[in-house]
């Protein structure tokens, strides 16, 4: 039985790093607003999933008890064991850390087997495919490849955390129908960073 946890971002509503400095907004405050945006997305995602019969729980990195549970590791694991999808919101609860880092952290905490990085491209390329039509999609990469070549897959903190905990990362296109199911089932999709993986995932 697959156990799936989802770390949601909020960039479609508010991206803290983009707004820092605007109208005197400090980076910390901008990041907290971004975290609130992830909670909005998490609640919307929960409603959507439960409307099609998928039981879910939303857990936030800081307390918002009227709308979601606080993040408690043992409770999250218990929800997964009962077949519920757990949606992690509000990042790590700290400014200056990305959603990617939150995904890597939660993955390590709940002993998940892989991070599935859902994005808007087919995987990791050796160059920017938007600017170079000859850019090639990479099937496999090591953590060292990502770090040494400064590939913009995940931020350095996130990829280092995955490396230290031997957590593979699969980067794939969210917009292609069926890709999430393929990734969770272990079918070939996108780019694999690190070792092979099996059945328990955190989707970022």
Q: What is the CATH number of the domain that holds 50?
A: 3.40.1160.10
4 and 93 assigned to the same domain: yes
Q: Is residue 30 part of a domain?
A: yes
Q: Is residue 105 part of a domain?
A: no
7 and 92 assigned to the same domain: yes
Which of 70, 97, 124 delimits the end of a domain?
97
Q: Is the Cβ–Cβ distance between 61 and 90 less than 8 Å? A: yes
Q: Is residue 121 part of a domain?
A: yes
Q: Is residue 204 part of a domain?
A: no
Give CA–CA dist 122/114, Å, rounded.
18
Q: For residue 108, with 0-12 CB atoms within 10 Å meaning exposed, 13-18 middle and 19 or more buried, which class applies?
A: middle
Q: What's the whole-model pTM score? A: 0.89
Q: Is residue 178 part of a domain?
A: yes
Closest CA to 98 of 165, 159, 188: 159
Residues 62-78: pLDDT tens digits?
999 999 999 999 999 99
* Mean pLDDT over each residue of the chain, to the nearest integer: 91
Number of domains in the chain: 2
159 and 124 assigned to the same domain: yes
Q: Is residue 104 part of a domain?
A: no
Structural domain boundaries, residue 141: 112-199
70 and 23 assigned to the same domain: yes
Which of 73, 97, 121 delimits the end of a domain?
97
Residues 111-121: pLDDT tens digits?
999 999 999 88
Which of 35, 68, 97 delimits the end of a domain?
97
Rg for the chain, CA atoms, rounded: 17
59 and 24 assigned to the same domain: yes
93 and 19 assigned to the same domain: yes
What local confidence, expressed as pLDDT, does residue 202 receive?
65
Give CA–CA dist 7/68, Å, rounded.
14
17 and 44 assigned to the same domain: yes
15 and 70 assigned to the same domain: yes
Q: Is the Cβ–Cβ distance between 129 and 178 less than 8 Å? A: no
Angle between helix 156-164 and helix 99-109 axes, rounded to 10 deg: 10
Is a pLDDT exceeding 50 seen at residue 199? no
Q: Name the 3-class secondary structure at 204.
A: coil
What local confidence, expressed as pLDDT, does residue 130 receive?
80
50 and 3 assigned to the same domain: yes
């Amino acid at each position: 039985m697959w156990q799936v946890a989802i770390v949601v971002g909020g960039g479609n509503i508010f991206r803290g790093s983009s707004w820092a400095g605007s109208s005197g907004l400090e980076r910390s405050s901008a990041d907290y607003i971004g975290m609130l945006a992830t909670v909005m997305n998490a609640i919307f995602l929960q409603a959507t999933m439960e409307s099609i019969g998928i039981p879910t729980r939303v857990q936030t990195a800081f307390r918002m008890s009227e709308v979601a549970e606080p993040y408690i590791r043992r409770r999250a694991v218990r929800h997964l064991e009962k077949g519920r999808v757990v949606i992690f919101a509000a990042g790590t609860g700290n400014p200056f850390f990305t959603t990617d880092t939150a995904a890597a952290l939660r993955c390590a905490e709940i002993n998940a087997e892989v991070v599935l990085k859902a994005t808007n491209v087919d995987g990791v390329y050796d160059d920017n495919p938007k600017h170079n039509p000859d850019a090639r999609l990479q099937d496999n990469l090591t953590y060292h490849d990502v770090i040494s070549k400064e590939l913009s897959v995940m931020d350095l903190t996130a990829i280092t955390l995955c490396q230290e905990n031997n957590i593979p990362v699969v980067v794939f296109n969210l917009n292609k129908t069926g890709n999430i199911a393929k990734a969770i089932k272990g079918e070939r999709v996108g780019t694999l960073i690190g070792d092979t993986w099996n059945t328990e995932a955190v989707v970022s």
